[in-house]
Amino acid sequence: MGKTIAEKIFDAHLRDEPFSGTYVLDLDRVLCHEITTPVAIADLEWRGKDRVFDNTKIKAVIDHVTPAKDSKTALQGKMLRDWAHRHAIKDFFDVGHNGVCHALFPEKGYIRPGFTVIMGDSHTCTHGAFGAFAAGVGTTDLEVGILKGVCAFRKPNTIRINLTGTLAPGVYAKDVILYVIGQIGVNGATDRVIEFRGNIVDEMSMEARMTLSNMAIEAGGTSGICLPDMTTVDYLWPFIQNDYPSKEAACEDFRRWHSDEDAVYEKVLDFDVSTLEPMVTYGYKPDCVKPVGELAGARVDQVYIGTCTNGRIEDLRVAAAVLKGKKIAEHVRGIVSPATPKIFKDALKEGIIDIFMDAGFCVTNPTCGACLGMSNGVLAEGEVCASTSNRNFNGRMGKGGMVHLMSPATAAASAIAGVIADARKL
Amino acid sequence: MKKTFGGPAIFLDRSDINTDEIIPAKYLTEVTKEALKPYILEDLKLEGFDPKGQALKNARVLVTRENFGCGSSREHAPWVFEVNGIHTIIAQSYARIFRQNTFNGGMLAIELPKADIDRLFALSREGAVEIAVDLEGQTLKARAGGREETLRFEISPFDKALVQAGGWVEFADARY
Ligand code: SF4
């Protein structure tokens, strides 16, 4: 009987099976940010176990609220910073070098096919785009990960989602994943791994695959995995070129993580996305999704472009193409947060930052900021934001505020129109 | 803190209650569990629910529907229940991370089939419900208005071991 990629990764990392159906895996990466890690650090100190299992496998960043906005967030940053220095964690990113975790860590080449990755952050599933098993965990799992380098999971039952057809111009990975979540529901993949397959995924860039994998958790998925291929190799090449004689050799090596032809899936879902329209959420759950046409005209007060879902260079390019030579509506506050310093610099070089600023956008430093309503664009009661982020929960961007999720193109078009708008019809 | 399983129950009749509703992100700047206490379920969208009410204050058990705790991985969600004395949650299903976080902290996230959850909700219409949990025997007794329901529950041996050990740190530290 064949195996799925997740099963192969589990086999290769199995440390212990304390009970039937419980798999304790060795971890290749334990990623940390300043919101969920300080409590783990404090607990380890309190237990007299302030140690780390391997300071080269632990990576840390201050990204959610940075630079600190008040004494409390300053303390969270300080706790992470002091801890990283105390344990000589070399890959620690602070002001001037920091960016949104799920954009920054892949960009640094830390995530490789076949890896096991955990982080105290639900969107850790993003890293599955590299053919890794990457899962968001809570602070206790993170704490044990830091101390022992292990994490426990149940059997990785997998739902295979085949995405086929041709994406129409103006339709992006974000629209695909919103559509898929709309189809399977916020509970559709709970406790399951999603394996994204099909020619649509094969043709996607790593950035687009990350957008896809990023939102696996919005359907409840433990991880959202794409199989590693030449696109993966191209992205990682600067970091792996000394390990392989050629790109072809790297690609061949990565194939050992491919699911077998006769792998067993719990479910296989086929979606031909050829007729897909740009999608937008309404309400307070990410599975409340409609084609943009049905929501066009709905009022927006703020437009937010950024985050671990859609704050990468490709996303900024798409938004800039829509914004070029235009002005955003007078009543709209436009905010763009390039997800990492590198993305920021590339956007500067390409003239994208100019386009955003000329259109009337405020450009912030790389941070999560407004995405979770902690800084840099919190909504007031009753306000509405068109956002490229991944979560539209009640109060997510500020108490009493409402969020519509959409692609960077739709967000940019909505900024110009001042209401939800279809970028193809501007 | 010693965990207690059982006591007066509060009923939240909705599915997909997410962790932003349980504890909004703006309170994640706290670095102690205790500081979260006043903010429990502050943003819950549920008709007639009062996050400052006596029913929630008295509760030691929470009963709800499907996909409880979806969304963010924040362990602040089970913690805010813990510091408010709610160490047992009973639902039809959970989001994976929330369920694991609850067991990792040595607390109980009991899963029951829909029919049993319906039975508990029916009982709650007869008056205040008191629930007693027997972890060893994997049964719970719910009492209200002179009526009693006894329900069996399944729990994986691993999750049970976590509760008995007091949490995942204790379990992992003894073993790895
Ligand atoms: S950008 Fe938003 S969703 Fe992504 S890690 Fe930051 S807060 Fe979480």
Of A169, A173, A118, which Cα lies nearest the Cα of A147? A118
Contact across the interface for A373 and B25, Cβ inside 8 Å: yes
Instruction: Give distance in angstroms: CA of A54 to centre of ligand 1.
Output: 26
Scanning A99-138 for CB atoms below 8 A from B yields 120-122, 124, 136-138
Residue with tokens 């000394």: A242
Name every chain B residue with its beta carbon within 8 A of the beta carbon of A284: 45
Atom 6 of ligand 1, nearest CA residue:
A368
Domain count, chain B: 1
- Block means of pLDDT (10 residues each) for chain A, 426 residues, are 97 97 98 96 95 98 97 96 98 98 98 98 98 97 98 97 98 98 97 98 98 98 98 98 98 98 98 98 97 98 98 98 98 98 98 98 97 94 98 93 98 98 96
Flag whether B156 is in a domain. yes
Beta sheet of A92-93, edge-to-edge order: A92-93, A58-61, A29-33, A116-119, A133-136
**Low-confidence residues of chain B, pLDDT below 70?**
1-2
Flag whether B44 is in a domain. yes
pLDDT of amino acid B2: 65
- A–B CB contacts, 8 A cutoff, strictly below: 150
Identify the structural domains of chain A with CATH numbers, from first to last. 5-154 (3.30.499.10), 158-256+263-272 (3.40.1060.10), 281-425 (3.30.499.10)
pLDDT of amino acid A260: 98
In B, minimum Cα distance to A25 occurs at: B176
For B141-145, the CB contacts below 8 A with 24+ separation are: B142/B9
Contact across the interface for B101 and A120, Cβ inside 8 Å: no
CB A310 within 8 A of CB A174: yes
Distance CA A297, CA A421 (A): 7
pLDDT of amino acid B3: 80
Contact across the interface for A394 and B20, Cβ inside 8 Å: yes
What tokens does A381 get? 């009661």
Flag whether B1 is in a domain. no
Beta partners for residue B111, in sequence order: B91, B154
CB A52 within 8 A of CB A87: yes
Amino acid at B132: A
Contact across the interface for A374 and B93, Cβ inside 8 Å: no
Structural domain that includes position B102: 6-175
Flag whether B137 is in a domain. yes
CATH code, domain carrying B107: 3.20.19.10
